[in-house]
Amino acid sequence: MPITLPARALPSDPAVGPPPEAAAGACAGAERVAVVDPSWGRGLASFAPSGPAQVAAAVGAALDAAATWAAIGLDARIAALDALMAELLDRTEQIAVLEAADSGNPVAACRRDLVDVAAKLRHWSAMARTLPGTRYPGPGLHVDTARPYGVVARVTAYNKPFMFAASCAWMPLLTGNAVLLKPSPATSLSSLLLAEVAARHLPAGLLEVLLGGPSVVAALVGDPRVRRVSVIGSVPAGLAVQRLCANSGQVKHLTMELGGKNAMVVGHGVDVPAVADACVEGLSLRTTSGQSCQATTRLLVHEDVHDALVEAVAERVRAVRLGPATDEASEMGPMISAEHRDRVDGFVARAVADGAVPVVDGRRPRDVPDGGFYTGPSVLDGVAPGAELAREEVFGPVLAVTAWHDAAEAVALANAVRYGLTASLWTNDLTEAFALAGGVQAGYVWLNDVARHHLGTPFGGIKDSGTGSEEDEMALRSFQVRGVLHAGGRRG
């Protein structure tokens, strides 16, 4: 098998290996890729990346499986997926500990992720039953038609690996497709566990995991039998897949949920303690250690409440307990790798050198394990609007604070980035609320809230934060090839 797992540091009965046939076609002679526990800097596993032959074979097997899967009908598909979810929920603790060790996300957050994703999957199954077929007015009969693409390629990011693996598979499977999942090389273990469990409930070849990096994505996206591609990742990753689709010589349906440099815009007259709590929640420290595309990492605050809010946020940030992800006492874990930790710390160092004030400097945290990839949360005040830290996605626990005077200035500051994924607006002034909400350019905007997704609402970005949406009815429909049947009144 292409993956080797030591027993230590993993739950009992790890069962995370793929089916034996998944090893066939692994890239011959390729150097094995190490999977490292970021809390300790120790190796968890290793795998051989999937080679071109394995990718091609997986696409062929997926096409065969998809034909059978589509033919059994929606009720049978939902029944099989419900059984799969039931087993996953039975293994919540195993998945949570594996996920924490692999990703560095706190184990408590990993448990919550499984509960959250189960609620989403149940909702989507119910949604699939109610997808209407539209009948259009006019002479004769005009009705919607829908069929699956066949094979859907889904490329996912490292920061919430199990949630992405399960949620990215569900909608395509509900609509009759097979799914080829390409997780991040840094966090492949829970995706492999999902595939191992799925093999007991779904037809062979219907849900497979392909291991590796850009070469695997290139082989998958370049395959002419793959017409539907979806990406969750950084802007550079999305642009790379967009180029691959364009160079394939085919028109492929591509949707992308990419990065963000998201603003929390705070007006005057707010409840400072409540907003400070929300600011820390929006940083995603206790879920992904700040490594989140939706995190609100820019605090744009009205000058009247600036000092009080920055002080309250700093107090809360300093209280966040940093430690190993599998330790129940840890509220925040490490960065995914030493390289990424150094990248995050580099943003802080350059911002301070450029004149930002380090209200909280999380670099070089104490009382964390040697060898782990730790950096604590940082709060930097006085960040100039054009500064690197105000414009570029850090993907880490760093808050950039900038003061503003009026709503027009706040909107301009919020929109002065290439991204447009989320925004969080806080005000008790109705006029100010309308001015902010009507002007801020983001796909998902919270007013006096942050971080939460209501079931069934679309989540996706504008500008460089992506195309299309996740989690809503339109996303479900996007995994179907849609058309119209026109039955005229003429005799055949």
Element (H, E) at 466: strand 466-467
* pTM for the whole structure: 0.91
pLDDT tier at 413, thresholds 50, 70, 90: very high
Q: Taking residues 256-282, what's their average pLDDT?
A: 97
- Summarised one tens digit per residue, pLDDT across range 223-241 is 999 999 999 999 999 999 9
Q: How far apart are CA 275 and CA 281, in angstroms?
A: 10
User: Looking at residue 29, what is its pLDDT?
Assistant: 54
CB 330 within 8 A of CB 38: no
Kindly report the length of the chain.
Answer: 492
User: Looking at residue 1, what is its pLDDT?
Assistant: 28
- Amino acid identity of residue 419, one-letter, is Y
User: Looking at residue 283, what is its pLDDT?
Assistant: 98
Asked if pLDDT for residue 4 goes beyond 70, the answer is: no
User: Looking at residue 26, what is its pLDDT?
Assistant: 53
User: Looking at residue 316, what is its pLDDT?
Assistant: 98
User: Looking at residue 136, what is its pLDDT?
Assistant: 67
Active site residues: 257, 293
More confident residue, 133 or 322: 322
- Residue 10's Cβ-count burial label (10 Å; 0-12, 13-18, 19+) is buried
User: Looking at residue 135, what is its pLDDT?
Assistant: 65
- Summarised one tens digit per residue, pLDDT across range 415-447 is 999 999 999 999 999 999 998 999 999 999 999
- Summarised one tens digit per residue, pLDDT across range 39-78 is 999 999 889 999 999 999 999 999 999 999 999 999 999 9
User: Looking at residue 293, what is its pLDDT?
Assistant: 96
C-alpha 36: how far from chain center: 20
Asked if pLDDT for residue 12 goes beyond 50, the answer is: no
- Summarised one tens digit per residue, pLDDT across range 441-486 is 999 999 999 999 999 999 999 999 999 999 999 999 999 998 888 8
> 144 forms bridges with which residues in the sheet?
484
What percent of the chain lies above the pLDDT cut of 70?
A: 92
pLDDT tier at 22, thresholds 50, 70, 90: very low
The dihedral of CA 50, 56, 59, 60: what is its sign? negative
